[in-house]
Structure 1
Amino acid sequence: MDTSLLSPKPSVSSDARVLMRGIAMGESPRWHQGRLWFADWGAQQIVAVDPAGNSEVMMDTHLDLPFSIDWLPDGRLLVVAGRASLVLRQESDGMMVTHADLRDVSDAGWNEIVVDRHARAYVNGGPGIIAVVNADGSARQVADNIAFPNGMAITPDGKTLIIAESHGKRLTAFDIDGDGGLSHRRVWADLVDGFPDGICIDADGAVWYADVPNKRCVRVREGGEVLQTVAVDRGCFACMLGGADGKTLFIVATEWRGMAQMAAVAAERTGRILTVLAPAAAAGFPLSTRQVAPT
């Protein structure tokens, strides 16, 4: 047998470094202007931490979980107020205004967000749906029957949206149509025993996904081949590539004992930001501010 034709075995590591401790319950990490920003659901805050571990509270949101963040191409921050079914926008003077009212699409609550190069925001949640919010704030449903929608990412060419279906144990892809609609739904990767939460794309076209019950982050290629696994000691809720060269994988991890114990765990502040060196740099959307948005 020609062994050169065999794929190398996926690497498994547990050498993640602790960048920050004491987080109530972290989610929605984004690399932005030299720091990792994230939503601390338990503390109702948006926090930024630099590569040396120095953190700063950027906003006291007073929002119930879930809430998530991303930026418009012009630099204004969007915040999904999940329970209120609103997308809020921070203006240049710091004021928060309503960017989109999602209650006409669904008032069952919303979760994750990703913004594309056209200032369109894709938001998921509710009864397993995805909505697109146009730059003018108008919104419509573009997908349904998602088995617990979670992290989303868009490929560098802006043509494909990938979503984590946590209860479906898969990553699902859609073509992005010219008007922002989604079509040609297909399974991008069957994860078998994986429960994907937050995700991000790298420059090799692979996807990293965070996995809460399995306490790991996993790098997979389209089709489901596992390339790398980072095992940790608590549930991995989200991950994002960033850093000076885009090759730092930031992992948002928290001890998890189920929804009934969420308040107790948040009070214990078991959340951490972990880092590990990744083999390929950040790509696609959410857009790392070290990247140049494709035209």
Structure 2
Amino acid sequence: MDEVRTLVSGRGLVEAPRWHGDRLYFSDWTAGEVLTVGPDGVAEVVARVASLPLCTAWLPDGRMVIVSSTEGRLLRRETDGTLVTHAELGRPGWNDVVADGRGNVYVNRVDFDPTAGEAARPGEVFLATADGSVQRAAGDIAFPNGMAVTPDNTTLIVADSYRHALVGFDIAEDGTLSNRRVWAGLGEAFPDGICLDAEGAVWYADVPNRRCVRVAEGGKVLQTITLDRGAFACVLGGTTLYITAAEWQGMTEDEMVTPGSGQILAVEVDVPGAGWP
């Protein structure tokens, strides 16, 4: 049985774990904070943005980008800690973000408000290039969630939670997407945040099924880590899989997770991380 360690506890809706510069970063959506945490479990706030969702990515030059969903802006954290506008996204509703090794940033959006109980409409993925321009890159993703880019910058993988699948796209030199395909069908799973490993497998977090699962292209299950609460996202730092988890209450509840139930968990695995995030 995999030994799951608790690194951080007592948080809210924790999401978007990222590994950068030998440090773990994550977002507490309830608090509107982006934090970094050391091996001692002490968390330090590096940015405050009143946004739900609140997801981040790292540019090749080491600067962080942050999606301000409510404002419809992609922010960039400068080396002095100030936040500036990286790109104007327009309307609200933005969710996850990933940057590839060329500096292209992919941001996805859900085209309805699940917190208000609206009927589902397919979402989209947009591309923000280094010059600040934004263009639609892909559509018809029922509920776009976590994203990852392969180490060679040639494939974008998007978790479609409502269609229970990981969707793959080829990435061209200019960042545009083509050759849409089902990278892995996941049966009854609800993939949320994802990450890649050095063998080309994907780890996905699954909130209602309270687990993180490693799958190969095509959907073969390679490993499963079960939890006592919903798994929202995961990232590999070396051979440590970090998982953001909390007790899920529901999208339309006043508190989507039980207050104080948010945790950052860690479990050792065999294959290190690769690609982005």
Aligning the two structures, in what range does the TM-score lie when normalised by the shorter sequence? over 0.9
Shift of 1:195: 0.4
* 5+ long unaligned stretches in structure 2: 112-122
Corresponding letter in the other structure for 1:52: D
Counterpart of 1:115? 99
Instruction: Report if the CA contact (8 A) 1:14-1:232 is conserved.
Output: no
Instruction: Report if the CA contact (8 A) 1:34-1:50 is conserved.
Output: no
1:134, 1:78 → 2: CA distance? 12
2:26, 2:149 → 1: CA distance? 19
* Rg (Cα) greater in structure: 1
Instruction: Report if the CA contact (8 A) 2:239-2:272 is conserved.
Output: yes
Q: How does 1:1-295 map to 2 (within 5 A)?
A: 13=1, 15-61=3-49, 63-103=50-90, 107-127=91-111, 128-242=123-237, 246-263=238-255, 265=257, 268-286=259-277
Corresponding letter in the other structure for 1:90: R
* 5+ long unaligned stretches in structure 1: 1-12, 287-295
Instruction: Report if the CA contact (8 A) 2:3-2:268 is conserved.
Output: no
1:199, 1:141 → 2: CA distance? 22
- SS of residue in 2 equivalent to 1:98: strand
Shift of 1:94: 2.1
Shift of 1:60: 2.2
1:209, 1:82 → 2: CA distance? 23
Instruction: Report if the CA contact (8 A) 1:149-1:163 is conserved.
Output: yes
Corresponding letter in the other structure for 1:272: Q
1:222, 1:265 → 2: CA distance? 31
Per-residue CA deviation, residues 53-104 of structure 1 (Å, 9 max, x unaligned), is: 121112222x13111111111111110011221100112222211110111x
Instruction: Report if the CA contact (8 A) 2:46-2:81 is conserved.
Output: no
Q: State the TM-score, normalizing by the size of structure 2.
A: 0.93
1:115, 1:154 → 2: CA distance? 8
Corresponding letter in the other structure for 1:164: A
Instruction: Report if the CA contact (8 A) 1:84-1:109 is conserved.
Output: no
Counterpart of 2:117? none
2:198, 2:213 → 1: CA distance? 16
Shift of 1:262: 4.8
Q: State the TM-score, normalizing by the size of structure 1.
A: 0.87
Corresponding letter in the other structure for 1:219: R
Shift of 1:33: 2.2
